[in-house]
Structure 1
Amino acid sequence: MASTFKYFAFASNMLKQRLLINNPSAVFNTVGKLQGHQLIFCNEYPGWHGGGANLAEKEGGEVWGVVWTMGSADRDSLDRQEKDYTPIQVPIITPDGATVDCRTYQLQGQYDVTKPTRHYKDIIVRGAKQNQLPQHYIQRLERVQCSDFYGHVPIYEQIINKLKSSLIIMAAARTFLYFSFGSNLLRQRLQLANPSAVFKTVGKLEDFELVFVGQSGRWQGGVASIEEKKGGEVYGVVWTLNREDIPTLDKQEGIYTPMEVEVAGMDGGRYTCRTYQLRIGWPPGPPSPHYKDVIIRGARQNSLPDHYLKYLESIKDNGFQGDVPVYNDVMRLLENQ
């Protein structure tokens, strides 16, 4: 028997903290969809006081979820968790078009359509967002109607407490992850003020676009920011930094607002990262040639995808030809290495 198997979660087990309660070996593999089916809620799911998620055949339908790699020792615990369901094998289509054969669970035979509780729906939606399922599918989940149950749901409270514990552990960690998409793509630029920065992976921020706005006195032109855009993508670098560098990073980013984003790593991982965004509604502003050059150098240094590098190269600059001291500092570092 194989030491691992692939499991397709499409409901509460999409949320890592929920799945790990009984299945500690689970490791994220990818997201994907089961075609020819739709998501429905039926019967009363034990412990949730409302309808449980199920798969129903539907021509042209699709159910999105998460593919987990799990140790074979967890197969029995997963079966116990899904004891009212029948295990089945299904072909899951990943975003890159590959097919993964997965174990999942389906309630078969007769069942009654039943609304889920708000608690159960909340965990499903949290899992969909945690793993960045397509926005249209998340919106579909958010539109699911719930029952009128407002009582106590112990399993829900247990999961929420685990989520809170995860945040506390992250806050206490000595390092943090930072996603750069502008001049800090270039290691020498980032390490001017943040010497602890270590490359982790190239990453992609989905449903955002790269924009250049405002007028920076430091860079003599517009600066990079991100704005939400359905279907958009911003490539960048995920860095590991010591927490002691947060004040210097915040100071460097000045007028930017720090935020947390979920980044899909090119190494197959998914990472919660600190990044920065201008949120005041700045007008568009083309970058200086100096600023654009540092961004492109960073993209090349870290081997961002060719199509994204060509996009960066196509950005029109403002033609500024004067002196830019911070650019000179970065170039001296590059020359000395």
Structure 2
Amino acid sequence: MSASSSTSSTDSKDTFLYFAFGSNLNSKRIHVNNPSAKRKGVGLLKNYRLDFNRYSERWKGSVATVVPDQDEEVWGALWEIDVKDMDNLDRQEGVERNIYRVFHPTIHVELNETAFHSETDSSFNNKTSSDNETEPAFNNETSSHSETESSFNNETPPISVNTVTARCYELIAVDPPGSDKRPSVTYLDVVIKGALESKLPEKYVHKLRRIEKKDEGINEEMEDEGEEQEGSTDIMKGSISF
């Protein structure tokens, strides 16, 4: 595997890079508000962990964020988005309402031939445990980078490994200690589908499947309703995607 130690934002004046780790892993979700988004590869955010720290009425459960943690890492999708969509993305993440804040971490990204233009891969097959399995703490089984790298997109030879600077979002409006931090079954399903679509490492998808979740959620049949109404349960519409 060839590697490059250079660091680059790879942004042009017309586009920027965005690292997604929650529902925006899912191409259907991100394209609602950011139609210009193009998948560029799979990224790894080191020294952070995935967590769920704020209840969302829309999702009926807690939503994802990243939290500094020297012993952990978060896999996600790297998207290239037109600058004209940046305000849409900020609005979606509730930046103006001080729900999430923007930061620009270094992302380790492995680029491959299919990552530039592939939006879905319905044939992606990974063997995981039943969705009924749960673990109380998401980060109990975190593997090292070397362990997960072997399962990363084995079918396509990598072009290069780089570090890039990307736009990312972390929660600043979090629920108090002791709150129910479990995501809803619907939210977690959207995240897992996006992880499969993004071809995140099998071990990481396995961990996502084992996150303890709330049984309540949004009816999947509401997914494609076009009209947004107060209290709508359309999971692919509206602001705050997380």
Same fold (TM over 0.5): yes
* Cα pair 2:218 2:235 within 8 Å, conserved: no
Relative contact order, CA 8 A, sep 6+: which one is greater?
A: 2
> In the alignment, what sits opposite 2:164?
271
* Cα pair 1:211 1:225 within 8 Å, conserved: yes
TM superposition score normalised by structure 1: 0.47
Matches within 5 A, 1:1-337: 29-30=4-5, 173-254=13-94, 255-267=99-111, 268-283=161-176, 285-323=181-219, 327-328=223-224
CA spacing shift, 1:221–1:262, aligned 2, 3 Å: same
Greater gyration radius:
1
CA spacing shift, 1:258–1:269, aligned 2, 3 Å: same
Rounded to whole Å, the distance in 2 between the matches of 1:237 and 1:182 is 9
Rounded to whole Å, the distance in 2 between the matches of 1:295 and 1:301 is 10
* Cα pair 1:220 1:288 within 8 Å, conserved: yes
Higher relative helix content? 1
* Cα pair 2:60 2:217 within 8 Å, conserved: no
* Cα pair 2:66 2:170 within 8 Å, conserved: yes
CA spacing shift, 1:244–1:323, aligned 2, 3 Å: same
Q: Higher mean Cα deviation, 174-183 or 253-262?
A: 253-262
> In the alignment, what sits opposite 1:33?
none
Q: Quote the offset at 1:28 in angstroms.
A: 6.8
Partner of 1:191, secondary structure, is: helix
* Cα pair 1:206 1:232 within 8 Å, conserved: yes
Q: Quote the offset at 1:199 in angstroms.
A: 0.3
Rounded to whole Å, the distance in 1 between the matches of 2:220 and 2:56 is 11
CA spacing shift, 1:311–1:213, aligned 2, 3 Å: same
* Cα pair 1:186 1:298 within 8 Å, conserved: yes
Query: Can you list the C-alpha shifts for 1:49-70, whole angstroms capped at 9, x where unaligned?
Result: xxxxxxxxxxxxxxxxxxx7xx
Query: Can you list the C-alpha shifts for 1:33-91, whole angstroms capped at 9, x where unaligned?
Result: xxxxxxxxxxxxxxxxxxxxxxxxxxxxxxxxxxx7xxxxxxxxxxxxxxxxxxxxxxx
CA spacing shift, 1:326–1:272, aligned 2, 3 Å: farther
Rounded to whole Å, the distance in 1 between the matches of 2:218 and 2:84 is 35
Q: Quote the offset at 1:281 in angstroms.
A: 4.0
* Cα pair 1:209 1:234 within 8 Å, conserved: yes
Unaligned runs of 5+ in 1: 1-26, 31-67, 69-130, 132-165
Q: Quote the offset at 1:259 in angstroms.
A: 1.0
Q: CA RMSD, aligned part only?
A: 2.8
Query: Can you list the C-alpha shifts for 1:235-269, whole angstroms capped at 9, x where unaligned?
Result: 00000000000110011101211111110002312
TM superposition score normalised by structure 2: 0.64
Give the total of aligned pairs.
172
Q: Quote the offset at 1:321 in angstroms.
A: 4.2
Question: How many percent of aligned residue pairs carry the same amino acid?
Answer: 34
Rounded to whole Å, the distance in 1 between the matches of 2:34 and 2:100 is 17
Rounded to whole Å, the distance in 2 between the matches of 1:276 and 1:183 is 12
Rounded to whole Å, the distance in 2 between the matches of 1:174 and 1:281 is 33
Runs ≥4 residues deviating over 6 A: 330-333
AA paired with 2:162? G
* Cα pair 2:32 2:236 within 8 Å, conserved: no
Rounded to whole Å, the distance in 2 between the matches of 1:202 and 1:286 is 26
AA paired with 1:188? K
CA spacing shift, 1:321–1:220, aligned 2, 3 Å: closer
